[in-house]
Amino acid sequence: MVAAAVVLAFIGPGRHVPVYACSCFQGGGSFIMNRESDDNTLILPRDARGVLWWQAGEGRQTKSVRKENFTVRVLSGARERNVDFRVIEAKPNLFLIAPIEGLVPGNRYLFTYQEDTQQPARAYKVEAMVENTAFAAIKEQVQLWLLPPGRAQLDVATAKGMCSRSADVAAQEIHISEPAAIERWRFALLFETVLDGKRDWRPRRSVCGNYPPGSSWRGYGIDIIFAECVSAAPDEVAGTREGEHDVYMTISVPGTRLVATTKKYSFRLTCTSPTSK
């Protein structure tokens, strides 16, 4: 998704007044992977069912995908071969590409998406390797960490003028860092922040800043909860309210019933002296 501030010139008596309007240009789909690493190989837990494909859409627009655009190939063993698979909707616009025969620990797989079957050069690919360690074996060890809360400047979405604006906030960063296997599997799992008992915490950096379900506006297994400190128009105030809050995270393996739930923590957001406990 690409954001652009489009300048519109409204002509009035004797003057031209520039008005900025945010416009979003829809991108395509992509496999969920670590795009900040030179090695894009996905590491999957033993009990994973496949890899995730995000079909990005604008706002709440629902997208669909076609099975014929995908292929799954086993790269390990005596010979390479294609395998049959299912396309399962894990969350809105997020699809699990799951081999019917299952994933074998130690094997490597190549997942390919080709938008136009007549133009192979436009294919999107990701390799995946399946570990022997299962998510079920470590899910009780998952821990949520809270950094000391404090004041910060964050870019937040705005529907007025530019696509984003800077906000002065009281912020609380949270992240999953234990056990170590979570870091290896980060892009194969679904993370969800539950703030004050609700699953609707989904701020954005920009009006056009959509991100895949199962992640947050800060990434996978990390989030920042904030309350805006400087007064803004009622329809522009970003974040949650000042005061006491509680939070926990859930981590799940897409396409299964495997879910880990962290301990719930309480913290306080205040624009004077934020504290956590």
**Domain range annotation of the chain:** 29-133, 137-276
Check whether 82 has a pLDDT greater than 50: yes
Residue with tokens 């002509």: 11
pLDDT band at residue 230 under the 50/70/90 scheme = confident
Residue with tokens 């004041």: 151
How far is 67 from 82, CA to CA, in rounded Å? 14
**CA distances, 26 to each of 37, 55, 243 (Å):** 25, 10, 37
Backbone angles phi, psi at 55, to 5 degrees: -100, 95
CB atoms near residue 83 (< 10 Å): 14
Q: Which of 53-57, 73-77, 223-227, 247-251 has the lowest mean pLDDT?
A: 53-57
Side-chain-side CA neighbours of 218 within 13 Å: the count stands at 17
Check whether 149 has a pLDDT greater than 60: yes
How far is 141 from 139, CA to CA, in rounded Å? 5
pLDDT band at residue 165 under the 50/70/90 scheme = confident
Phi-psi region of 219 (alpha: psi -120 to 50; beta: other; left: phi over 0): left
Contacts of 128 (CB under 8 A, 6+ apart): 41, 42, 43, 44, 51, 103, 108, 109, 110, 111, 188
Max Cα separation, the chain?
A: 79
**CA distances, 224 to each of 11, 69, 108, 153, 240 (Å):** 42, 36, 35, 12, 11
Alpha helices, H only, the chain:
135-138, 180-185
On whether the CB atoms of residues 249 and 194 are closer than 8 A, the answer is: yes
**What value does the mean pLDDT take over residues 89-94?**
94
Contacts of 238 (CB under 8 A, 6+ apart): 156, 157, 167, 169, 203, 226, 228, 232
**CA distances, 85 to each of 73, 101, 102, 180, 272 (Å):** 10, 8, 9, 30, 54
On whether the CB atoms of residues 54 and 92 are closer than 8 A, the answer is: no
The CATH number of 29-133 is: 2.60.40
Check whether 175 has a pLDDT greater than 90: yes
Q: pTM for this structure?
A: 0.84
pLDDT band at residue 25 under the 50/70/90 scheme = low
pLDDT band at residue 77 under the 50/70/90 scheme = confident
End-to-end CA separation in angstroms for the chain: 38
**What value does the mean pLDDT take over residues 244-253?**
97
Check whether 54 has a pLDDT greater than 70: yes
Q: What is the dihedral of CA 80, 119, 128, 49, to 10 degrees?
A: -90
Check whether 206 has a pLDDT greater than 90: no
Q: Give me the count of residues in the chain.
A: 277
